[in-house]
Amino acid sequence: MSQSATQGAAPAAPAGAMPQRAGLILGALVVVALVALFAGARYGLLLAIGLGFGIALEGLRFGFAGPWRAMILRREPSGVLAQLLSIALVAVVAIPLLSSHAGELVGAQAPIGFAMVGGAFVFGACMQIVLGCGSGTLVNAGSGNPVSLLALPFFALGSFAGAWNLIWWTDLGALPILRLSGIPGLGVTLVLLALAAAIFLWRAAPGTVKLSRRHAIAAVVLALLAIGNLLVAGQPWGVVYGLGLWAAKGFAALGGDLSGSAFWAAPGSMERVQSSVLTDYTSLTDIGIILGAFGVAAWRRGALATKLPSYPARAWIATIIAGFLLGYSSRLAFGCNVGAFFSGISTGSLHGWVWFVAAFAGAFLGIRLRPALGLEART
């Protein structure tokens, strides 16, 4: 969620906004049509879904890091409850579909292990330092946020590096993949989501809005887009793999040898590295999120010129380090707030629940570290 998400009503439309806005709409349609024409209809549709994610997240001022911060600092539950509602809506569709179409659809399922728990904790801390998770960093970068624009390339490098070392980390110890499937699995998932919601409601500050209308709309829109992603791509919404793939492509283009990594040398990964980025599902939705957020920010402001925050040098260094750790830790944790928390839980993977607890704990640390790193001090 971009910095504009913390403000009140959107500003009045700038002069000459109508031609520019028409251009934004036309440009989006042309880009989707070109991808559909040259890569295939499915890929064009996935880019359109990615645009929808970006437009919804930026346009409705919604995200993952911000609501967690609001719950921890001010005990405002609305954003977190909207996340749980959206997950529940997806789960109602996704978990039964995964059972009935096992050969066509796959879930965001991963093992629970030491590296996964540690990675989730570090990710939760770092996303509060830069005020952006995986999708949030893409949205913020697209809308012109300087911190996220700096963090994003290091996020991609971290994702690449974390995937490179992933096998070593998982060999430290992990349980088999545990998942909740079928109607019984859906029932357990919904009960757990209800219990989580009850805990947040119990901890909510008196008089706070329990679920705002804007957050409720965002929950429904994200759920519809996530279901669309599952049906079109055959896999749940994700973010982190696409970023690491971009770095892997750059590494290979510069003459780097990927054969030293069991992850990147695997046939499936190598095929994606050698193929067009426009044929990778996660890359397309990531690109769509950036472009969608850019479109909303340009629609609102007419330009993306953003004043550079007057942070001390240590804040910018912390942004680089946190950006890299966001990517690295999310690979160890098998996803970010989207791939592990949102898509993991909504497709019945128990690792999503463990990720949620570990990352939420890490968020407390990140909130404490952010002022010490100079990221709260502006003049």
Tell me the per-residue pLDDT of 231-254, one tens digit each, with 9 for 90 and over: 999 999 999 999 999 999 999 999
Instruction: Report whether 1 contacts 63 (CB < 8 A).
Output: yes
Quote the pLDDT of residue 13: 56
96 vs 188: CA distance, rounded Å:
13
Estimate the crossing angle of helix 41-59 against helix 134-142, to 10 degrees: 80
pLDDT per residue as tens digits for the range 91-123: 999 999 999 998 899 999 999 999 999 999 999
194 vs 27: CA distance, rounded Å:
42
Calculate the alpha carbon distances from 343 to 8, 283, 338 in Å. Answer: 30, 16, 6
Instruction: Report whether 220 contacts 52 (CB < 8 A).
Output: no
Percentage of the chain beyond pLDDT 70 is: 94
Q: Where are the domains of the chain?
A: 23-372
Instruction: Report whether 311 contacts 378 (CB < 8 A).
Output: yes
Percentage of the chain beyond pLDDT 90 is: 84
Q: Is residue 143 over pLDDT 70?
A: yes
Per-residue pLDDT band for 3 (boundaries 50, 70, 90) equals very low
Q: Is residue 75 over pLDDT 80?
A: yes
Single-letter residue type at 68: W
339 vs 236: CA distance, rounded Å:
8
Quote the pLDDT of residue 15: 54
Quote the pLDDT of residue 103: 85
Six token digits for residue 311:
């942070």
Q: How many CB atoms lie within 10 A of CB 177?
A: 14
Q: What is the pTM of this model?
A: 0.91
Backbone angles phi, psi at 113, to 5 degrees: -150, 180
Q: Is residue 12 over pLDDT 60?
A: no
Quote the pLDDT of residue 8: 40
Instruction: Report whether 76 contacts 252 (CB < 8 A).
Output: no
Instruction: Report whether 343 contacts 236 (CB < 8 A).
Output: yes
Residue at token pair 């880009």: 31
Quote the pLDDT of residue 304: 63
55 vs 37: CA distance, rounded Å:
23
Per-residue pLDDT band for 379 (boundaries 50, 70, 90) equals very low
Q: Is residue 2 over pLDDT 70?
A: no
Per-residue pLDDT band for 14 (boundaries 50, 70, 90) equals low
pLDDT per residue as tens digits for the range 273-329: 999 999 999 999 999 999 999 999 988 876 565 778 889 999 999 999 999 999 999
